[in-house]
Amino acid sequence: MIGVALGAAGIAAVTALLALSAFFSSSETAIFSLPAPFSRLIAAEVGLSPAAAERSP
């Protein structure tokens, strides 16, 4: 039970760090360099449209 909670917290932390890195990066397309499923997931988390997540850098 504790392992599941720690795993979920770890996934949330990684998602938050990736989203923050996209916002504070000098390039606005840093989030889009990830594989498509990940960029769509993170784009949904930070409120971007799915079409924006599929733009090429």
Grade residue 56 by pLDDT with cuts at 50, 70 and 90.
Answer: very low
pLDDT of residue 3: 83
C-alpha distances (whole Å) from 48 to each of 3, 5, 15, 29 are: 31, 27, 14, 12
pLDDT of residue 52: 56
User: Which residue matches tokens 């504070």?
Assistant: 24
* Position with higher pLDDT, 26 vs 39: 39
pLDDT of residue 35: 62
